[in-house]
Structure 1
Amino acid sequence: MRFKWLLVLLITSLSTYAQSGFDASLRQLNERIAEKDQYDQEKNTRINKLQNALELPENASAAKKYELYTRLYEEYKSFNYDKAFFYAQRMQEYGRKLKDPVKIAKGKITMGFILLSSGMFKETFDSLNTVNVRILPDSIKKEYYFLNARTYYDLADFDKDKYYTPVYISKASLYIDSALSLSNPSAYEYQYYLGLKDLKMGKNDQAEKRLMKLLNSHTISNHQMAVTTSTLSDIYIQNNNIDEAIRLLFTAAEADIKSSTKEAAAMLNLAQLLHKKGDIKNAFVFINEAMRDATYYGARQRKLQVSAILMVIAGEKVNSVEEQRRILFIYAALLTLLAAMVILFAFIISRQLKKLRKADKIIVQTNTSLQETINKLNEAEKIKEEYIGYYFNLISEYIAKLDQFKRAVNNKIVTRKFDDMQMLVNNINLKKERDELFLNFDKAFLTLFPNFVEAFNALFAAEHQTKPAADQLLNTDLRIFALIRLGIHDTEKIASILEYSINTIYNYKARIKGRSLVANDDFEAAILAIKAV
């Protein structure tokens, strides 16, 4: 028995530790997402320096331009599809101007990488098949072989066909072997591609050991970290260790953000795994980030891939919200029904008591000496007592049920963190709610139109300008025209929102327009011209 309790305690501790690790990784990734623009700005700064360097004199050498185009391509290749495609074309163009077949081939290989990153397999092969491999130096030849291997591996993953997938994996392995023969065994790329080959050949344990050793024994860049941990996550997914795969994808997604990599799939895969575990809230956040990256990168195929998953997760998020609303509606309906039943039984009891009192009065007034009448009176009194006890017991039961149901609803609301709904059940304060509604409207409106009050007052002479009270953001004058600025022109609707009569709203508008420096007919147009942030 003691061992059993120790085992339970150990499992509980491990579960708590795993959850705390997940929460820490989740918080850290969200912090990196908040800093994403900062990392992108650093990359754009490097790009701007290179683009400024392109402003060369007319007699500048083609070789210098080729070098700058190559560096710009390297910055853009995982950042912006259109720009990378453009500079890959320029590399080929200036390779031809230099009449250098190696530089032309290098441009075709870079073009192949961009096409593959966007999911265009046919076009990738078209570009790579035009490369004359024999003329290439070992460094570029190695790059050519690695790119062919990755293309066949990606095509195998895309097809997932029992016949073609093994063929593609076999071809990829041949290219991997050719590239490895030209690589330094101590280099990152050598170890990574060996691990990738093991993974694709089904040697998961060997691949895991090799990639883990790579992470622990090499100093690698953010982009290499993202690639390695993403590949490792595939191993854990195949082994059905989803929690470890998610942990690795947190690391990969964070590394992608730090390296401003937009074409990566780590964020997408993370959203899919969280969705699989039922964490719709975080899955929805990350799939939107993946779509933001795909849109920024600009490759149509990438956006289509993310969109398909985004629609599934978004649909389930909507269904989840609707289900919560439906449950709350059912609880509210049951509470209302229970209250109605209590009122109904109270009404029935009241009517029965009135009838019994009337019968008692009649019996007393007859004052008959007959035993039968006395017996009937006693019987009526007995019925009266029993009915009163029965109905009061029934009321007590329903009141107890109502109280129990109310506490259950409150507990449910607390569990779902809908604290304001508990306040609504226990203490409805319409004035406070209305004031809070107006305050929230004012805050939201001034977030969109922070200069609204100044722009509004600019339409009046100084003595007619509107100044809200110290505890207000907007007053009624400003609120009327804030609604008009939002596109609500119907006076009846404005009156309904602000809880004034239609005539009062007409009077407000007429008074305000009459004081304006602008003609009455042009005043609302001037309000609509106030710009948002």
Structure 2
Amino acid sequence: MERSLLYILFLLLPMTLSAGSKTQQLRQKLDNLLAQRNTLINNKNKDINRLKKNLTTSENTLKLLQTYEQLFEEYYVFQFDSAMTYLNKGIKLAQETQNTYYYNSNLISKAELLSIGGLYSEAIHEIEQVDTTVLDKAQRFEFYFSLFRIHTYWADFCNDKTYTPMHRLKAQDYLKKAMPFCDETDKSYEYYLGEYAVFVLNNPQSARTHYIKAIKQLPQNSRFYAMSCFALSGSYGNEGNADKQEEFLLLSSISDIENCTMENFALQNLAMYIFEHNKDELDLAQQYIQTALEDAHFYNNRLRIIEISSKLPVIVSSYQQTLNQRNKVQMIAIIVISLLFLFLLSAVFYIVKQTKRLSLQQQELQKNNNQLSELNTQQKELNMQLHDLNALLVDTNSKRERLAKLYIDLCAKYIARLKKQQTLVKRKIKANQTIELLSQLSSERLSEEDAATFLSRFDKAFLDFYPDFTEELNNLLLPEGKIQNKSSDKLTTEQRIMALIRLGVKESAEIADLLFYSPQTIYNYRSVLKGKAINKETFEEEVMKLCRVIGKPSSD
């Protein structure tokens, strides 16, 4: 019996090692792609710019409609606003030229794009304008499948017991209507069968079979490949197979990055998976969720930003707790080393005393000197350890700087959201437009009181971290250009701009959003202040090097 168990263990061991090795390889590939993210985005933009040249060189209406469609496909999961721009251009041109095919095609695409942005009522309004009597087979499939997606997204958004089931039933009905028109020769056909098995047949095993067939047929940089992998991760996660869940989350995230898909869901789910299953890798979870948030901002998906922002504080809080625990361990190590150092000093004192006592005995003196030399060597090693610990503390300070920037960014975003929701609710309730209240968004600026509160808190938080910032900033300016503060706990507008640059926020547009000015105003402030600098060419680089030590040691 024991031999049989050992034999089984030996058989399973290579499979376990292989699974672990595959996960590590996928993680390494994902990290490498994240490091090359800017290059991938630049290549994507180059492809888009090549397409845009066709708009200036071609006067053929059909060619223009085709180019608008291609540009929409490029922007579809890359940038929401740009995708919407070329859809509207296509709709306008198709109306002017009475091209029914492209008019209906663009309306269907616009409805699905609006649903991605959370504008569900608007999406239904757009798709209702489609003349279904003139649709061909492919367009009929896109028409019904878009309605399926709209109601699926709407159901996920509601997340309640009243409206979610209603939208689920509508989505199921439209998927049933779509499948007879699906092209069986399409490489993504198996993906659609998987969706049908999940939402209509409620058969997870059959769905998994179709998704696996889909990823075997589709290229890895395909959006349908990424969606199939994401669906498989959920399937394996539901049955408790964590290894497979992580593997397909990694594959989906890799495919999204290769395809420059900014409207993604896999990376933030991967971050939450790591957060829930691997507490010792919180720094990795924090990195992934931060990247997902940056992608949502890049795509301009408001719902995804809110969704990620609700998860981000949980990971950041746990990450901060981990850092605090590491700091405690370091402090204990410093105390122990200090005690050892005191012991070493006592030993040295004893040796010196013994040396004086045995000065007439040369041999004993030599022996004591050798001991003293050995102890000095140990002391140097301890000093090197102290140096390493100090380096760790400096690294911790650097991480706190990043957390400070994150905190400031979140504060600004939450203030904007609260104001937007307040205005929207008042207006829509007065107009008795409660249904539209769920989807419409507002872009009004903050009230002066809220803005002043945020700036006051920003000043206090920043000066708590960098109490010497105003003095060090003045050291970079000419005597006649030095900034005089009316209050010791408040920053001037010029100082706030430089404070944000010190924290790594260098774009005038981003600074304008945070300080409630226009980008041009921020640019003017920066130009004026740079003109007062001692070294104008390197002024902002020198600002980023100010206050290398955060705050002052606590009196506690």
Q: Same fold (TM over 0.5)?
A: yes
SS of the residue aligned with 2:56?
Answer: coil
Structure 1's 133 and 166: CA in aligned 2 closer, same or farther, altered over 3 A? same
TM alignment of 1:421-500, pairs within 5 A: 426-428=381-383, 487=473, 489=475
Partner of 1:172: 171
1:168 Cα deviation (Å)? Answer: 2.6
Query: How many residues are paired up?
Result: 379
Contact 2:221 2:258 in 1 (8 A): no
- CA offsets, 1:368-414, max 9 Å, x none? xxxxxxxxxxxxxxxxxxxxxxxxxxxxxxxxxxxxxxxxxxxxxxx
Counterpart contact for 1:63–1:98, Cα < 8 Å: no
Tell me the equivalent position of 1:95: 94
- Mark the CA change 1:432 to 1:317 in structure 2 (over 3 Å): closer, same or farther: closer
Aligned equivalents of 2:123, 2:67: Cα separation in 1: 24
SS in 1 for 2:535: helix
Partner of 1:85: 84
- What TM-score does the superposition give when structure 1 sets the normalisation length? 0.63
Query: How has the CA–CA distance of structure 1 residues 276 and 523 changed in structure 2, closer, same or farther, with 3 Å as cutoff?
Result: closer
User: Partner residue of 2:211?
Assistant: 211
Larger mean Cα displacement after TM superposition, 12-21 or 423-432: 423-432
Counterpart of 2:191, as a letter, is: Y
Equivalent position amino acid for 1:298 in 2? N
Other-structure match for 1:296: 298
**Deviation (angstroms), 1:165:** 3.5
Alpha-carbon shift at residue 141 of structure 1 (Å): 1.8
The CA distance in 1 between the partners of 2:245 and 2:239, in whole Å, is 10
Hey, what's the Cα distance between the residues in 2 that align with 1:141 and 1:195? 19
Q: What are the equivalent positions in structure 2 for 1:195-206 lying under 5 Å apart?
A: 195-201=194-200, 202-206=202-206
Structure 1 window deviating more from structure 2 (161-170 vs 243-252): it is 161-170
| Equivalent residue number for residue 328 of structure 1 | 330
Q: How does 1:339-418 map to 2 (within 5 A)?
A: none
Gaps of 5+ in 2: 347-377, 396-468, 477-529, 542-556
Give the AA of the match of 2:276. Answer: K
Query: Which position in structure 2 is the counterpart of 1:234?
Result: 234
TM-score, normalising length: structure 2: 0.60
Aligned AA (1:121): Y
Deviation at 1:196, TM superposition (A): 1.0
Identity over aligned residues, as a percent? Answer: 22
Cα RMSD of the aligned pairs, angstroms, is 3.8
Distance (whole Å) between structure 2 residues aligned to residue 236 and residue 46 of structure 1: 36
- Deviations for 1:119-177, whole angstroms, at most 9, x for unmatched residues? 33232222222322222222222111111112222233333434543433332222122
Amino acid at match of 1:300: R
Give yes or no for the alignment of 1:530 onto 2:531.
Answer: no
Once the two structures are TM-superposed, the CA of residue 335 in structure 1 deviates from its matched residue by: 6.8
- Please tell me whether Structure 1 or Structure 2 has the larger radius of gyration of its CA atoms: 1
C-alpha contact (below 8 Å) 1:159/1:165 kept by paired residues: yes
CA deviation profile, 1:251-277 (whole Å, cap 9, x unmatched): 111111111111121212211211111
Q: Which residue of 2 aligns with 1:37?
A: 38
Gaps of 5+ in 1: 345-422, 441-482, 491-521
Q: Which residue of structure 2 lines up, in the alignment, with residue 313 of structure 1?
A: 315
Q: CA separation of 1:425/1:144 partners in 2, compared to 1, >3 Å: closer, same or farther? A: farther
Tell me the distance in 2 between the aligned counterparts of 1:192 and 1:314: 36
> What secondary structure does 2:383 align onto?
coil
| Equivalent position of 1:67 in the other structure | 66
- 2:545 is aligned to none
Residues 76 and 83 in structure 1, CA contact (< 8 A), matched pair in contact too:
yes
Separation (CA, whole Å) in 2 of partners of 1:78 and 1:424: 60
Instruction: Mark the CA change 1:242 to 1:485 in structure 2 (over 3 Å): closer, same or farther.
Output: farther
Residues 255-274 of structure 1 mapped to structure 2, 5 A cutoff? 255-274=255-274
CA distance in 2, matches of 1:122, 1:24: 44
1:516-527 maps to which residues of 2 (within 5 A)? Answer: 525-527=533-535
Separation in 1, partners of 2:259, 2:98: 35
2:215 and 2:22 map into 1 onto residues whose CA distance is 20
Whichever residue aligns with residue 252 of structure 2, its letter is: A
